[in-house]
Each structure stands twice: as structure tokens, then as C-alpha cells.
């Protein structure tokens, strides 16, 4: 039976979505939760971005982070229960997973005690569910490899906030997700699954991004199910190296939201009124069409047939 190590940051629900699936299969798994990035590391990252992107970009990024610091707590307080991308992952379920499976909280995933924890657990696969860039000293401890869910369509969009950049550049047809092997170069490992996520009837970019997170994690579960069934994973040929995108600053976010609304307005103008009413009904909070909530059961996970398979190992 393979052993899995899930790595995440600040107990992101994506990690517990994967945990729920692995529990349903009776699999052995552990978690590493990166509580927060050390202040020194954050300053180093900002200094590096300033050298590469300039002071204006860093100022724009800090404005975006300040907006998040103000808006996210308000959203969490006012959003109705079950409104997020993973409504089944609540505080009770997080406590349940933590009480039944080995869990390590840390600030530096490359600290000696963390690496020892990973080495002692001896995972067959490491699954990244929202964490900073890891070094080979960490992900190389997996016996068969490390896999990552990337919310960008590879190789076109590598890096951070890829869906936001896609809309900011007026390229909604290139928004999607990819499941790929982890390598030293960011988002450059072999792709085992990639999928475009077309714009639906979501009235805002935030709603679309919520669905993208959900569908990307469902795709990750599909890949893990393939591993558990003993089937070789597919490899999707890469078309070029693509482009790396840094975290989106405030101006990029504003442009992305504006373009999203323009795109939706152009779609609405071409549809009859009855279709518009139906789309509104399907995107109201609590609608299962807007945000499916069921983790696929073992017997219902479809096989991946998108490309010719070869072995991951």
C-alpha cells in the first residue's frame, strides 16, 4: 500500500479535500502544514522581486496584499456556511484528520527536523496542495515522485495567480489547471493531466476562481486514483517552455476583474433572456451546479484517457 505525504500552507482546505479522498480508500498518509513563512524569508522574496521586476511592481504587489489582509477576514466572517470551494472541509473535519493521521506544523519545510519527519515517514508520493516552492532536499524524499496541482494551463502559464494573469491578458481560453511532477524548475515537471476550465455562468471572477480550485483538486484526485489503481500515469507533451508569472499586483487584479466582466457581458448579450435567468439560478449560493461538494468515491473515479500513458517512476 503506497504512503502519501500532503504538504500545504495554513491548513488550506485543498489539503483536506485530498485527505478525505485518501481516507475513503483507507490509505496511509501524513501531513506537513507550513504555518507561516518566516519574516526574513518574506523580505528576501520581496528583495528578489524588486531586483527582477522593479520597485513599481513590488509596490503594486504590496497594495494587493494589503487588500487581502483587509478583505479576507471580512469575507470569512460574512460568507454563508458552505460557500467556499470546499464546503465539506470545516473545522470539525480538520480536527478529525489531525487526530487520526500524523501531522507536523512548521515554519520552514527545509529545517532538519522537518526533513527527518519526512524521511522517517518514508512516503511513496508527496502531494503539494498549496505550498511555497520546495527544494529537492524535500520533494526528493518521495520514493516515486512528487505531484502538484497548478492552477494554470501549462506550459503557457507558469508561476503564480495564473488564471488572474490569463484574464488580465484577455486570454480566458487559456485558463485552466495542470497536475504535474515537481522538478527544480518551477512548474516545469512532466505534466500528467491538464484541463482548460471554460468560463461558465459565474457572475464574478472570484466565483470562477472558486470553481477552478474545485475542479483542479478534483483532477488531482483523479490522478491519485489512477496511482492507487496501479495504472501508469499519462504524460502530456509540452509545447514550448511557456512564461513564468509572478504574483499578481493590484493593477493586474483590477484589469483581470474588468476583463472578466466584459467577457461575461459580451456572452450575455448574445444569449436569450431565458438562458440568462437559468444561469443566474445555477450560480446562486448553495447551488450544487455552482460548486459540487462530493468527493468522488473509489468505484466512480473515471480512468484518465487524455493521453498515452507511460510510467511515472
* Average confidence score pLDDT of the chain: 86
pLDDT at 283: 44
The verdict on residue 135 lying in a domain is: yes
**Is pLDDT at 56 greater than 80 in this prediction?**
yes
The verdict on residue 25 lying in a domain is: yes
Q: Residue 273's pLDDT band (boundaries 50, 70, 90)?
A: low
pLDDT at 71: 86
pLDDT at 274: 53
Residue 3 burial (10 A CB sphere; 0-12, 13-18, 19+): middle
The verdict on residue 305 lying in a domain is: no
195-214 average pLDDT score: 95
**Is pLDDT at 89 greater than 60 in this prediction?**
yes
pLDDT at 155: 93
> What is the C-alpha separation between 179 and 160, in angstroms, rounded?
15
100-127 average pLDDT score: 96
The verdict on residue 155 lying in a domain is: yes
C-alpha cell at 40: 526574513
Residue 247: what are its φ and ψ, rounded to 5°? -55, 140
CATH number at residue 150: 3.40.50.170
> What is the C-alpha separation between 210 and 287, in angstroms, rounded?
13
Task: Give yes or no for a cis peptide into 155 (omega within 30° of 0).
Answer: yes
Domain range holding 192?
3-300
**Is pLDDT at 299 greater than 50 in this prediction?**
no
273-296 average pLDDT score: 44
Residue 151: what are its φ and ψ, rounded to 5°? -90, 60
Residue, of 76 and 167, whose pLDDT is higher: 167
DSSP for 27-93? -EEEEEEE----HHHHHHHHHHHHHHH-HHHHHHHHHHHHHHHHHHHHHHHHSPTT-SS-TT--HHH
pLDDT in tens, 205-245: 999 999 999 999 999 999 999 999 998 888 887 777 889 99
The verdict on residue 10 lying in a domain is: yes
pLDDT at 118: 97
DSSP for 166-197? HHHTT-GGG-EEEEEE--SSTT-SPEEEEEE-
DSSP for 80-143? PTT-SS-TT--HHHHHHHHHHS-EEEES-TTSHHHHHHHHHH--SEEEESS--PPPHHHHTTSS
The verdict on residue 116 lying in a domain is: yes
pLDDT at 42: 80
Counting residues of the chain whose pLDDT is more than 70, the rounded percentage is: 84
62-90 average pLDDT score: 85
Q: Residue 82's pLDDT band (boundaries 50, 70, 90)?
A: low
Q: Which residues pair with 52 in a beta bridge?
A: none
Contact between 205 and 260 under an 8 Å Cβ cutoff? The reply is yes
The verdict on residue 286 lying in a domain is: yes
The verdict on residue 57 lying in a domain is: yes
Number of domains the chain is built from: 1
pLDDT at 111: 94
pLDDT at 43: 84
Q: Residue 75's pLDDT band (boundaries 50, 70, 90)?
A: confident
Residue, of 79 and 235, whose pLDDT is higher: 235
Amino acid at each position: 500500500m503506497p504512503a502519501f505525504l500532503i504538504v500545504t500552507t495554513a491548513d488550506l482546505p485543498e489539503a483536506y479535500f485530498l485527505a478525505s479522498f485518501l481516507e475513503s480508500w483507507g490509505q496511509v498518509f501524513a501531513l506537513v502544514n507550513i504555518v507561516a513563512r518566516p519574516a526574513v524569508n518574506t523580505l528576501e522574496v520581496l528583495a528578489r522581486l524588486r531586483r527582477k521586476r522593479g520597485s513599481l511592481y513590488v509596490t503594486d504587489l504590496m497594495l494587493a496584499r494589503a487588500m487581502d489582509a483587509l478583505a479576507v477576514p471580512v469575507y470569512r466572517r460574512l460568507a454563508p456556511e458552505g460557500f467556499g470551494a470546499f464546503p465539506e472541509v470545516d473545522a470539525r473535519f480538520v480536527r478529525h484528520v489531525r487526530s487520526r493521521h500524523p501531522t507536523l506544523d512548521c515554519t520552514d519545510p527545509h529545517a532538519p527536523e522537518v526533513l527527518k519527519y519526512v524521511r522517517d515517514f518514508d512516503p511513496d508520493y508527496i502531494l503539494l496542495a498549496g505550498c511555497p516552492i520546495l527544494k529537492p532536499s524535500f520533494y526528493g524524499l518521495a520514493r516515486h515522485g512528487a505531484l502538484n496541482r497548478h492552477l494554470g494551463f501549462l506550459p503557457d502559464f507558469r508561476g503564480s495567480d495564473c488564471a488572474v494573469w490569463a484574464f488580465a491578458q484577455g486570454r480566458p481560453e487559456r485558463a485552466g489547471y495542470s497536475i504535474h511532477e515537481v522538478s527544480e524548475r518551477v512548474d516545469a515537471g512532466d505534466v500528467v493531466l491538464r484541463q482548460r476550465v471554460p468560463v461558465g455562468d459565474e457572475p464574478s471572477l472570484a466565483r470562477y476562481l472558486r470553481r477552478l480550485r474545485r475542479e483542479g483538486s478534483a483532477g488531482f484526485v483523479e490522478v491519485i486514483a489512477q496511482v492507487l489503481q496501479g495504472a501508469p500515469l499519462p504524460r502530456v507533451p509540452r509545447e514550448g517552455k511557456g512564461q513564468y508569472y509572478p504574483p499578481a499586483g493590484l493593477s493586474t487584479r483590477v484589469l483581470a476583474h474588468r476583463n472578466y466582466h466584459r467577457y461575461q457581458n459580451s456572452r450575455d448579450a448574445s444569449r436569450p433572456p431565458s438562458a440568462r435567468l437559468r444561469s443566474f439560478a445555477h450560480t446562486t449560493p448553495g447551488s450544487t451546479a455552482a460548486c459540487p461538494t462530493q468527493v468522488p468515491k473509489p468505484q466512480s473515479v473515471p480512468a484518465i484517457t487524455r493521453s498515452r500513458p507511460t510510467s511515472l517512476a
